[in-house]
Every structure is written in C-alpha cells, then in structure tokens.
Amino acid sequence: MPADKRMLFLRNAESLKDDSVPRRSAEYQVVADARIVGELPFGPYVFSIWEISNRREGDGRWLCLRVQERMRDPSSMTADRFGFYHGGVIPSELVALASLFLRQRLRLGPIVRMDDSPRLLPEKHGWIDREIVSGESNFGELANWLARAERLKPDLHEPFVLCAKLYQQALELIESKPDLAYLNLVSAIEVLASRHDLEKPTLDEVYPDIAALTGRVQDDELRSGIEQKIVAKERLIKRKFVEFIVTHTDETFWSSGSRPQHGRVEPRQLKELMEKVYDQRSRTLHSGEPFPPNVFHPPLLDEEFPIGVEMSVGERKWLPEDLVPSPHFFERLVNHVLKNFLVRHSTE
C-alpha cells in the first residue's frame, strides 16, 4: 500500500472516525491582529473566538483552536528518510492554512488546556542562540568597526550594508522562526560570495558525465572550445559560497572560549558542512523540503552539531549526514566571516 501523503490533519480526522481509537484533546491560543468572528467546527477541530474585546485594528487578540488527535501515532515506528514532514504538527498546519485562506496574520500560541484540565505549557524550553542574550556589549566597541566600514571600498558599501540587514533580520527571527533565520544567514553570505574570485574548474570537476561525452570529440580545439563554453555558463554559486566562508574563517573563530565540549565542529569539517548547508538551503527554497528538526529546538548541551546516531519526527528519519549545524553555530560563523571580510577589504 503506498504511503499516505495527505496532510496530517486529514489523516488524523480519518483515523478518529473509528470510535475505538484512543484520543486526547488540547486547546491552543491563536493570536490575530484583525477582527475575526464566528466559529468553525471541522471534524475533530474547532476554531472559535476567545477574547471578547474592542481592540483597535492591529492590536493582538486571542482566538482558540481545539484539536482532538489519536494518542499513539504508529507512523513513528516506521520512520524513514523520505517520510512526510513539514517542520510542524497538526495545529501549525491548521493555523497556516487559516492564515492563507483568510488572508490574516495568525500565530499559533501555547497549549492552554489538555483534555478537560487547564494547562499553560511554555512554547519552548531554553534558547536556540543563548549567546545573543547573554553577556554584555559596549557601544565603545563600535568606533573601530564603524571606522573600518568608512574605509571599505565604495563599491562594496551597498552590498555590505545589505549583508548587515540580512544578518540583523536573522537575529530577530532566530528564536521564533529559526529556519527563516538560517535562510537569511545564507543570503547574507551569498551577497558577498557572488563577488568572490574563483578559479574556473574543469568540465570534469563540474559535469563528469558531460566531460566523458565531450572526450569523444576527436578535434582537440573543438573539444576544448565546447568545454570552455559549458564551464563559462556556470555561475558556481555553491562553490563560491563554500570557498568564501572557508577563506574568511581563521583561527580566532575556532579558539573561542565559548565553544561546547560535546558536539563541536572541527575545522576539517567546515567545507563539507557548508556544502550541506547550501544544499539544504536549495532544497528548502526550490523543492519545499523543510530544515531538519535540530534547527527548530534549543540545543541540549549547546552543541554545534547534533549528538547522536539519528533523529526521528513522525514518519521522517534523519541520519547524521542529513543534518546541518545548529543555528547558533552558523550565526556565529556568519558574524565572524562578515567581520573578517570587512577587515580584509577596508583600506588602511
């Protein structure tokens, strides 16, 4: 029987048609900043208003989402690397769909009731990027950096400040939407990496299968011309992204005293991990594949890369080679790389 690829809320509703299936219920806070009225019962789900108020347009107001779901999900017993996964659960599906169809800003809040008992559960445990909120900074440190920015080559001013804005947005999102923060951090690097000088690779390095075909061309000059034309068409974005990061990462990054004892990324792993980061970014943007689950949750031991053999969520399983570094590691790396770029490209 082919795997069921329907959305989770549809599969759950189908399974609950069997009265013998054990179930549980939970109510969630949903926050809107526009007036929404009425009530929607849809199978085992109910959207309803909660807060009765005369708030102004744009002010947050509370709605309620009640969800019934089966207690034991058998899908996790057969999880594989191609299972159904979109980075959320049934309530997040329903709120996302409601936001789309109503064209309103809706945000899923915490659980406020489980079965018939009031329960207020925190939305998260710990910080995804603890260093951002810990310690102390001094405005005095800005003087040297702003002076360096002033000495940056004029043609780099616009791209560098765009990098800074993308990085700033990533910090704003990293606790609430870490996957979007990750994408912003990749984009911050891409802005400058696109200008990175890169030695043109051979056709065999880029497309070994095509190189094997052109190798059959008897005329050496014709074969060389074909290969050069093919390589010239390549923008080599991924290669530039990886080399730009590796080139602008020095020993001060690896010798930082705040690095964890367990789950530490080693310098020899940087190139391979940055290739994986770029591949994940491409799959997320172009194929709709969400980031792996380690990106969405605070690291238990502040590890830079998940510790363990594998991870599973519902029907999906990830092996270590499927994972990417933790957001706080990549954020610190991007910060280091952008600062190093400024140091190297500002005139004395």
Over the range 59-73, which residues count as b (16 or more CB within 10 Å of their CB) and which as e?
A: eebebbbbbbbbeee
Does the pLDDT of residue 276 top 70, yes or no? Answer: yes
Does the pLDDT of residue 337 top 60, yes or no? Answer: yes
pLDDT at 196: 66
**Looking at 81-85, 132-136, 141-145, 227-231, which range is the least confident one?**
227-231
Does 109 map to a domain? Answer: yes
118, 138, 153 - which closes a domain: 118
Does 87 map to a domain? Answer: yes
| Stated length of the chain | 348
Same domain? For 105 and 211 the reply is no
Does the pLDDT of residue 301 top 80, yes or no? Answer: yes
Does 260 map to a domain? Answer: yes
Does the pLDDT of residue 233 top 70, yes or no? Answer: no
Contact between residue 260 and residue 303 where contact means Cβ atoms under 8 Å apart: yes
- In the block, tokens 């001060």 appear at 252
pLDDT at 286: 93
CA–CA separation, 30 and 324 (whole Å): 31
pLDDT at 314: 84
Same domain? For 86 and 28 the reply is yes
Q: List the structure tokens of 308.
A: 């363990």
**Domain limits for position 166:** 130-198+236-345
Does 3 map to a domain? Answer: no
Does the pLDDT of residue 76 top 70, yes or no? Answer: no
Highest mean pLDDT pick, 64-73, 175-184, 197-206: 175-184
Q: What is the mean pLDDT of residues 118-147?
A: 88
Identify each DSSP E strand in the chain by its residue range.
23-32, 39-42, 45-49, 61-70, 106-114, 117-118, 311-313, 316-318
Count the domains in the chain.
3
Among candidate residues 104, 121, 27, 12, the one with its CA nearest the CA of residue 58: 104
Same domain? For 267 and 299 the reply is yes
In degrees and rounded to multiples of 5, residue 13 shows phi and psi of -60, -40
Contact between residue 266 and residue 296 where contact means Cβ atoms under 8 Å apart: no
pLDDT at 1: 47
CA–CA separation, 30 and 98 (whole Å): 11
**Looking at 70-84, 112-126, 307-321, 331-345, which range is the least confident one?**
70-84
Same domain? For 208 and 338 the reply is no
Same domain? For 81 and 216 the reply is no
58, 88, 118 - which closes a domain: 118
Same domain? For 20 and 140 the reply is no
Same domain? For 214 and 247 the reply is no
Does 2 map to a domain? Answer: no
92, 118, 144 - which closes a domain: 118
What three-state secondary structure class fits 65?
strand
What three-state secondary structure class fits 232?
helix
Does 1 map to a domain? Answer: no
- In the block, tokens 């809107």 appear at 32
Same domain? For 71 and 172 the reply is no
Does the pLDDT of residue 20 top 70, yes or no? Answer: yes
pLDDT at 305: 95
In degrees and rounded to multiples of 5, residue 28 shows phi and psi of -120, 145
Task: Output the average pLDDT for the chain.
Answer: 88
How many C-beta neighbours within 10 Å does residue 183 have? 20
Give 210's pLDDT tier (boundaries 50, 70, 90).
confident
Same domain? For 39 and 136 the reply is no
Q: What region, left, alpha or beta, does residue 38 occupy, with left being phi > 0 and alpha being psi -120 to 50 degrees?
A: left
- Provide DSSP, 21-57: S-EEEEEEEEEESS---SEEEETTEEEEE-----PPT
Identify each DSSP E strand in 86-218 by its residue range.
106-114, 117-118
Same domain? For 51 and 90 the reply is yes
- Provide DSSP, 179-234: HHHHHHHHHHHHHHHTT---PPPPHHHH-HHHHHHHTT-S-HHHHHHHHHHHHHH-
Same domain? For 112 and 136 the reply is no
Does 295 map to a domain? Answer: yes
Residue with the bigger pLDDT between 239 and 332: it is 332
pLDDT at 74: 62
Among candidate residues 67, 31, 69, the one with its CA nearest the CA of residue 51: 31
**Looking at 123-132, 134-143, 271-280, 296-305, which range is the least confident one?**
123-132
What three-state secondary structure class fits 242?
helix
- CA 236 to chain CA centroid, Å, is 22
The amino acid occupying position 212 is A
Contact between residue 47 and residue 63 where contact means Cβ atoms under 8 Å apart: yes
- In the block, tokens 């744009």 appear at 58
Same domain? For 57 and 110 the reply is yes
Q: List the structure tokens of 183.
A: 């994408």
Of the chain, the percentage scoring pLDDT greater than 90 comes to 65
Does 124 map to a domain? Answer: no
pLDDT at 109: 92
The pTM of this model reads 0.85
In degrees and rounded to multiples of 5, residue 344 shows phi and psi of -75, -20
